[in-house]
Chains A and B, each alone.
Chain A
């Protein structure tokens, strides 16, 4: 069984998925970030392929992407870094990026390379469900790569069921009508959306992302799903001064509530 499927088989609660932009803050930080996240007890890591025009992302992720590109990050460099990571780590890894990046690399070549370096799944927010199903599904299956689709509060029920049949081994549940990093806190409307989805009897577990930033929002997400995805808040934490590994450990323990001060964090 592959790393990603195994994770979801072994763990159904409190899964913590952290997103970071590869090449930020420095070109060569990928290995350090992944190892520190794993050491801190993060279950799943989403590696952002920096993109010039990330239309589903907010300013934090966009700026980190611009910085990463200015640092010289390319897909070739990233694949090499992941190869190096895999010599020491078995943590599940997902790559997140835009469809044009895969297209320009060559779709087949890109998927082969992902498999070869040890990527377990992909999130491509602008690859539509229908295009995936008709043009790429067979290829993903042949390569043994997962693809994870998003649902939002506006996604119609029938479409959610369709997404449920194509996404694996989880569904990325966008917490709100928003780009990444937009809002703080979780509202009652969001809770009722979480509950609505919970009652749909989907085959896939859900992870809730967008606007999850701290202990409190992480816990709320966990109450209504199998776990949470944090991106912008983590990238902001990487900006702070000090030792990178320590900052990462501090951030993760504050989110998980394992740090001494974490239970007092209420914002």
Chain B
């Protein structure tokens, strides 16, 4: 079994590039050049330097003692929340802005859900002095207000997406349309392992630094590189792809992908793609997505803006389809409970997305000998507005 993308952009039967002709020249240029650019030594040097001095990598691997005691096991947290801008998203935007420079692009567009990818994109655009336009669903602009202000302060223009469910899916549609309208000077920094090939593979490679560090950090702390279980939340799947990447072939490591069940998997208000999804095409990629019999994409729901997406990246569709990864679905309530619990147990307020990964501890089986790594994809500052509403209930 292989978990690598093939030259046509497929992971098993998932992936590809189902794009309108208008996007062909841009996608084709990227496809031909991305690996050469990425593994060019000057690129790698600049990328690694920025990850170290600007992002603050390596991010710590932290043994969460009180949490471990509570669950009677050994839980390590990969602290992506401590990165500059507060989430894993910046690993990818640093890589892609260097890519955009080499492609000679002057104008950067992005979509964002929770606003973390938007902030990370606005940040690297400020760093490089490039114009930045971020598409964000009107609903998300409302519920992730602090990140909207951050993007504006960083000099980005935030454009509301008012179609459909006014969330991440619709912001992505608008970004794609912008790219069609600006084929020459613009690079689209996609924020997750979604979209047409080569995006899923490129974003996964930029995020792979997470598991690359985990290997030596675990070795340092436990004497072995491989944990027994890795848990990560999945919106599109970029933080999970990064946390799984260097362990994909090590089948002794259990991979747990945690998705958002909203009000309940079968409540009609959910984003649990692995259960509710069927094979189809979304945003140029053949993958699992929530859709009607007629192929109309169903509007998803999750309290967490970053997981409120009706599809998953093609790599994850392949991992779940081949049973390499197990999927766990977590409701809004379970995620909130986990967020408040982690805050009090470890003094860490997680992003609502990451809280879903912690809630999975109540759903999966493990032993007291196991070493579990949870990818703490982001910090909860942006979610304070939401958390305050639930302080009385869960606090």
Q: Are A100 and B295 in contact (CB under 8 A)?
A: yes
Given A56-B20, A155-B25, A100-B176 contact (CB < 8 Å):
no
Q: Is A25 an interface residue (CB 8 A)?
A: no
Q: Are A104 and B280 in contact (CB under 8 A)?
A: yes
Given A103-B295, A179-B180, A155-B21 contact (CB < 8 Å):
yes
Q: Are B296 and A52 in contact (CB under 8 A)?
A: yes
Q: Are B291 and A100 in contact (CB under 8 A)?
A: yes
Given A104-B280, A156-B25, A131-B18 contact (CB < 8 Å):
yes
Q: Is B394 an interface residue (CB 8 A)?
A: no
Q: Is B166 an interface residue (CB 8 A)?
A: no
Q: Is A14 an interface residue (CB 8 A)?
A: no
Q: Is B40 an interface residue (CB 8 A)?
A: no
Q: Is A127 an interface residue (CB 8 A)?
A: yes
Convert B284-295 into 0s and 1s, putting 1 for each residue whose CB lies closer than 8 angstroms to a CB of A.
100000010111
Residue of B nearest to A155 (CB): B21
Q: Is A266 an interface residue (CB 8 A)?
A: no
* Complex Cα–Cα for A126 and B22 (A): 10
* Complex Cα–Cα for A182 and B278 (A): 33
Q: Is B16 an interface residue (CB 8 A)?
A: yes
* Complex Cα–Cα for A69 and B299 (A): 13
Q: Is B297 an interface residue (CB 8 A)?
A: yes
Convert B162-176 into 0s and 1s, putting 1 for each residue whose CB lies closer than 8 angstroms to a CB of A.
011000010001001
* Complex Cα–Cα for A128 and B19 (A): 6
Q: Are B280 and A126 in contact (CB under 8 A)?
A: no
Q: Are A150 and B281 in contact (CB under 8 A)?
A: no
* Complex Cα–Cα for A102 and B21 (A): 18
Given A53-B297, A55-B20, A56-B22, A126-B281 contact (CB < 8 Å):
yes
**Interchain nearest-CB distance for A106 vs B (Å):** 11
A74 CB contacts on chain B under 8 angstroms: 294
Q: Are B294 and A53 in contact (CB under 8 A)?
A: no
A129 CB contacts on chain B under 8 angstroms: 21
A75 CB contacts on chain B under 8 angstroms: 294
Given A55-B177, A154-B183, A177-B180, A101-B21 contact (CB < 8 Å):
no
**Interchain nearest-CB distance for A130 vs B (Å):** 8
Q: Are B20 and A150 in contact (CB under 8 A)?
A: yes
A159 CB contacts on chain B under 8 angstroms: 24
Q: Is B182 an interface residue (CB 8 A)?
A: yes
Given A103-B281, A105-B295, A126-B25 contact (CB < 8 Å):
no
Q: Is B282 an interface residue (CB 8 A)?
A: yes
Q: Is A257 an interface residue (CB 8 A)?
A: no
Q: Are B24 and A155 in contact (CB under 8 A)?
A: yes
Convert B67-82 into 0s and 1s, putting 1 for each residue whose CB lies closer than 8 angstroms to a CB of A.
0000000000000000
Residue of B nearest to A152 (CB): B22
Convert A2-35 into 0s and 1s, putting 1 for each residue whose CB lies closer than 8 angstroms to a CB of B.
0000000000000000000000000000000000
Convert B119-160 into 0s and 1s, putting 1 for each residue whose CB lies closer than 8 angstroms to a CB of A.
000000000000000000000000000000000000000000
Q: Is A51 an interface residue (CB 8 A)?
A: yes
Q: Are A53 and B169 in contact (CB under 8 A)?
A: yes
Q: Is A95 an interface residue (CB 8 A)?
A: no
Q: Is B324 an interface residue (CB 8 A)?
A: no
Q: Are B181 and A152 in contact (CB under 8 A)?
A: no
Partner of A152, one of B21, B291, B295: B21
Q: Are B280 and A103 in contact (CB under 8 A)?
A: yes
Q: Is B283 an interface residue (CB 8 A)?
A: yes
Q: Is A174 an interface residue (CB 8 A)?
A: yes
* Complex Cα–Cα for A53 and B280 (A): 13
Given A55-B173, A152-B21, A105-B163 contact (CB < 8 Å):
no
* Complex Cα–Cα for A178 and B182 (A): 8
Convert A68-80 into 0s and 1s, putting 1 for each residue whose CB lies closer than 8 angstroms to a CB of B.
0100001100000
* Complex Cα–Cα for A177 and B20 (A): 12
**Interchain nearest-CB distance for B181 vs A (Å):** 5
Q: Is B17 an interface residue (CB 8 A)?
A: yes
Partner of B182, one of A62, A150, A177: A177
Given A53-B297, A125-B21, A131-B16 contact (CB < 8 Å):
yes
* Complex Cα–Cα for A75 and B176 (A): 26
Residue of B nearest to A62 (CB): B163
Residue of B nearest to A172 (CB): B21
**Interchain nearest-CB distance for B284 vs A (Å):** 7
Convert A101-136 into 0s and 1s, putting 1 for each residue whose CB lies closer than 8 angstroms to a CB of B.
111110000000000000000000111110100000
* Complex Cα–Cα for A51 and B173 (A): 12
A152 CB contacts on chain B under 8 angstroms: 21-22, 183
Partner of A99, one of B21, B173, B182, B281: B281
Could you list some 30 contacts between A and B, CB below 8 A?
A51-B295, A52-B164, A52-B296, A52-B297, A55-B173, A55-B177, A56-B20, A56-B22, A74-B294, A99-B18, A101-B294, A102-B295, A105-B295, A125-B21, A126-B19, A128-B18, A129-B21, A131-B18, A150-B20, A152-B21, A154-B22, A154-B24, A156-B25, A163-B21, A177-B22, A177-B180, A177-B182, A177-B183, A179-B22, A179-B180
Q: Which residues of A pack against B, CB within 8 Å? A: 51-53, 55-56, 58-59, 62, 66, 69, 74-75, 98-105, 125-129, 131, 149-152, 154-156, 159, 163, 174, 177-179, 182
Nearest first, the 4 A-B pairs at minimum CB distance are A104-B295, A125-B20, A52-B296, A56-B20
Q: Can you add 19 more A-B contacts, CB < 8 Å, to A105-B295, A128-B16, A128-B19?
A: A52-B164, A53-B173, A55-B173, A56-B20, A62-B163, A99-B18, A101-B294, A101-B295, A103-B280, A125-B20, A126-B19, A149-B21, A150-B21, A155-B25, A163-B21, A177-B180, A177-B183, A179-B177, A182-B181
